A = this chain, B = another copy of it.
Amino acid sequence: MTEDYSQYPKHLVAVDCIIFGFDGENLKILLVKRNFEPQMGEWSLMGGFIGSDETSDEAATRVLHTLTGLENIYLEQLKCYTEIKREPTARIMSISYYALINIEKDIQINEQYNAEWVELKKAPDLIFDHNDMVKDAVARLRRRASTRPIGFELLPEKFTMKDLQNLYEAIFDEKFDKRNFTSKVNSLDILVNTNKKDMSSSRKGSFLYRFDEKKYNKKISQGFMFKI
């Protein structure tokens, strides 16, 4: 006996992206103002339906590319939301993805979507269950940030210790001690000092560092665990 699939219902399945960015001070998310019904004019996450010949990862990548023009974005699947009435007009499942992008890269935000970077803490109410999605994404981001070096996805290639600390403080919404933070990071031994200085923030200038991915991967393969 072969399974007869025609007896089973089919579903609309979308992806929604929680796009994180960091401006040196605050953690932000990229939101779009809907220019179509339902809920036209309200804020939401950027999303799109999954096509019949693409995976959800591909759909999320496509959606991000459409909005930002960027490729090779850090992307991770979060969760599938399947409440029947999560959207009022039809039963649509949605797989949420969170993305980390370097806000300084010259992004060509597609005008057509009315997209805007908003501070995470000041984000407006979103439609449907998108507020939940953001909450879940922040929780995941915190967990990941403490066990994987994903923070660097949010920073420019070269950054100061202060930038890095600001980032972690923004992610965890918590202040850290400068000396403890620096020595913790240094003890990980996965940054290289470029010996260049950023002179914009002080007279003395502060050293610019780079994440050494090769070294990190080598250490990982030797049993090293990132932990911050």
- Which A residues have a C-beta under 8 Å from some C-beta of B? 1-3, 5, 8-13, 36-38, 49-57, 77, 79-80, 82-84, 89-93, 95
Instruction: For residue A188, give the distance in angstroms from its CB to the closest CB of chain B.
Output: 21
Instruction: For residue A44, give the distance in angstroms from its CB to the closest CB of chain B.
Output: 12
Residue of B nearest to A95 (CB): B80
Residues of the B chain whose Cβ atoms lie less than 8 Å from the Cβ of A11: 10-13, 50, 52
Instruction: For residue A78, give the distance in angstroms from its CB to the closest CB of chain B.
Output: 9
Residues of the B chain whose Cβ atoms lie less than 8 Å from the Cβ of A54: 84
A37 near B91 with CB under 8 A, answer: no
Among A38, A50, A92, max chain B CB count under 10 A is at: A50
Known A-B contacts A8-B49, A9-B49, A11-B10; A38 and B95 likewise in contact (beta carbons under 8 Å): no
- Alpha-carbon separation in the docked complex, A53 to B5 (Å): 17
B37 near A1 with CB under 8 A, answer: yes
A3 near B50 with CB under 8 A, answer: no
Residues of the B chain whose Cβ atoms lie less than 8 Å from the Cβ of A82: 50, 55-57, 95
Known A-B contacts A9-B49, A11-B52, A91-B52; A2 and B80 likewise in contact (beta carbons under 8 Å): no
A38 near B2 with CB under 8 A, answer: yes
- Alpha-carbon separation in the docked complex, A80 to B89 (Å): 23
Residue of B nearest to A1 (CB): B36
Known A-B contacts A9-B51, A91-B52; A3 and B38 likewise in contact (beta carbons under 8 Å): yes
10 interchain pairs, CB-CB under 8 A? A1-B37, A3-B36, A5-B12, A5-B89, A10-B11, A13-B13, A56-B80, A77-B79, A77-B80, A80-B95
B36 near A2 with CB under 8 A, answer: yes
Known A-B contacts A80-B56, A82-B56; A13 and B89 likewise in contact (beta carbons under 8 Å): no
Pick from B52, B79, B89, B95: contact of A9, CB under 8 Å: B52
